[in-house]
Amino acid sequence: MSDRIENVLHENRRFPPSDAFRADARLSSEDGYARMHRESIEDPESFWGRVAGELPWIQPFDKVLDWSEAPRAKWFVGGKINASAVCLDQHLESIRSGKRAIVWEGEPGDTRTLTYTELHTEVCRFANILKSRGIKKGDRVAIYMPMIPELAMAVLACARIGAIHSVVFGGFSAQALSDRIEDGECCAVITADGGWRRGKILELKKEVDAGVAGKDYVHTVLVVRRTENDVDWDHERDIWYHEALLKVDAECPPEPMDSEDVLFLLYTSGSTGKPKGIVHSTAGYLVGAYMTTQFVFDLQDEDVYWCTADVGWITGHSYIVYGPLANGATCVMYEGAPNTPHPGRFWEIVQRHEVSVFYTAPTAIRAFMKWGDEHVEKHDLSSLRLLGTVGESINPEAWMWYHQKIGGERCPIVDTWWQTETGSIAITPLPGVTTTKPGSATRPFFGIDAAVLDEDGNELGANEGGLLAIRKPWPSMLRGIWGDEERFRETYWSKWPGYYFPGDGARKDEDGYLWILGRVDDVINVSGHRLSTMEVESALVSHESVVEAAVVGRPDDLTGQAIVAFVTPAAGISASDELLRALSEHVSTEIGKLARPAEVRFTDALPKTRSGKIMRRLLRDIAAGVETVQDTSTIEDYAVLAKLRNYDD
């Protein structure tokens, strides 16, 4: 049987960067990109050695790459560096010392601004609190916090003393937190009394109390006061941050860390069973985050940069904390929901802080489309000059809306493909160079040798859908799965010898542009035709009556699998047989009869992870009518699941 994924969607629109954008861009010529990319692949040691040389080293490295123990890469061997010093100390002696590092807005409307000098001081004091509790280099510290400045400080304070941080998204349950604390054997948890979400208090301390119950090895719970709700207190274990602050000074030299020392763990849910603690190194990770931030977001000193992700997700690690701060950028950080107190909250923030670079997820863009253009049009978005997306393929309809309504048709859009495992952006347009095509993440970043292969490792031809592969090591690649070497090798390195397997399907078009087809576990096989769920979804969403769609396969005696589509109709449109027929017809014209759903289920919401990814595995079980055995701990809204399950009732 063929393992190819059929290519069904065609997109002919092209968007070259404007002359105005190119005039000031860091990189503005195709030749420049081609030359740099070629060097990064052919001579990675000199390329990355030069980039790494821009960071402040405590002790220089003597070798750029050691791949002799593949898949265990060692980058910048022999060097010593500290991530918090890269993000903070290096700016103190420059014109950036008084520059705003973090411009924060709480959901209730309170604000706080920290300059690089101020953030440095806060991080040093924070680090001294950790030290005063005996926390030291190599210890694991769980961080479970709302999106407040202290979250960034906690991350950087751990990095400063060489403790390994493990950020757990503040919306996760006590159980999810408990599993992650246990897997990493964390000795401390940094949290807050609560955080604001949609006008309500998320009681984080309560979850922590449940999550650490019975774990004697957790000797410290450090609590930041945010929402002032009542909390239970263990006088041995718990300490208030604001009280501890009074007892420490602001002098804390950064711990010299070996390039390959672990900087952090971050858990991702695997396709089965227990979440994987992805391990990232210090220097390689920083070099990746630093360089991608600079080139993908074309960062200039005047920019006000806003990434809307949560720090509990890799996007927040790389593009709220490490990447932007290593570059001395001004970063906006927002605590709350995008529609609190009104659906225009994000645009109000863009206007107020004159955001120039804005990075969000397709799922958020589709929500804005659904809420209506009037909430966008009320605000002045003329400060924006560059837009980005991440998390899943962006359907061309959402891309065009983003381009027109948010970007005012003047901002390039960078559709960035990457993973927790890649550490930093791997496939992306460069905004001053790349002519974009809506829905394509375009071309590999420097150092990324991306190819589309079949199961046997043969490279496929133009427009043949297959498996995405990365054929060379890159600095910010994962260094392992915490405590599970076997799973690390099996999951990522066993498909083809020496090549990294990300688990995504892709095709390369005639211009060498990459189109990500979604997770290969999500591919549907109808009568021997392998279809990407993403493409069928994209066809559905291109119908005017649809805002969102998720497509899965259910077993079918005749065709192997049959397509089931879960569809959210646009505002004011209700489910009807007529709509059903119209959608079937639409998919038929867009893709072909073959891709017509056997069943369409209308729903007002889809089950998603907290980072906005549709949980197709759950939908697959629902479509097949079986009880789910999947890990549901990362689901955003259980009510959605319950509703879908009771569909037939």
> Which residues contribute to the site for ligand 7RM (CB under 6 A)?
268, 314-315, 390-393, 415-420, 441, 502-504, 516, 519, 611
- Of the pair 208, 606, the CB lying nearest ligand 7RM is at 606
294 in Cβ contact with 288 (< 8 Å): no
* Smallest distance, ligand 7RM to C-beta of residue 297, A: 14
* Smallest distance, ligand 7RM to C-beta of residue 7, A: 15
- Of the pair 368, 602, the CB lying nearest ligand 7RM is at 368
DSSP annotation of 256 reads P
CA separation for the pair 581, 585 (Å, rounded): 6
- Of the pair 47, 417, the CB lying nearest ligand 7RM is at 417
- Of the pair 314, 448, the CB lying nearest ligand 7RM is at 314
213 in Cβ contact with 174 (< 8 Å): no
- Of the pair 441, 550, the CB lying nearest ligand 7RM is at 441
* Smallest distance, ligand 7RM to C-beta of residue 88, A: 25
Give Cα separations from 609 to 169, 279, 289, 337 (angstroms).
11, 21, 24, 15
Place of tokens 């493990």: 166
73 in Cβ contact with 477 (< 8 Å): yes
Residue type (1 letter), 50: R
* Smallest distance, ligand 7RM to C-beta of residue 380, A: 28
- Of the pair 293, 416, the CB lying nearest ligand 7RM is at 416
- Of the pair 181, 517, the CB lying nearest ligand 7RM is at 517
DSSP annotation of 255 reads P
Residue type (1 letter), 132: S
- Of the pair 360, 420, the CB lying nearest ligand 7RM is at 420
* Smallest distance, ligand 7RM to C-beta of residue 505, A: 9
Contacts of 624-633 with CB under 8 Å at 24 or more apart are 624/554, 624/555, 630/272, 631/269, 631/272, 631/273, 631/274, 631/275, 633/172, 633/173, 633/175, 633/176, 633/179, 633/269, 633/275
Q: Is 161 helix (H, G, I), strand (E, B) or coil?
A: helix
Cis peptide before 429 (omega within 30 of 0): no
Determine phi and psi for 220, rounding to 5 degrees. -140, 135
- Residues 557, 559, 563: CA angle, nearest 5 degrees: 105
* Smallest distance, ligand 7RM to C-beta of residue 502, A: 5
- Of the pair 276, 601, the CB lying nearest ligand 7RM is at 276
CA separation for the pair 291, 445 (Å, rounded): 10
CA separation for the pair 359, 413 (Å, rounded): 9
* Smallest distance, ligand 7RM to C-beta of residue 427, A: 7
* Smallest distance, ligand 7RM to C-beta of residue 346, A: 19
* Smallest distance, ligand 7RM to C-beta of residue 161, A: 27
519 in Cβ contact with 512 (< 8 Å): no
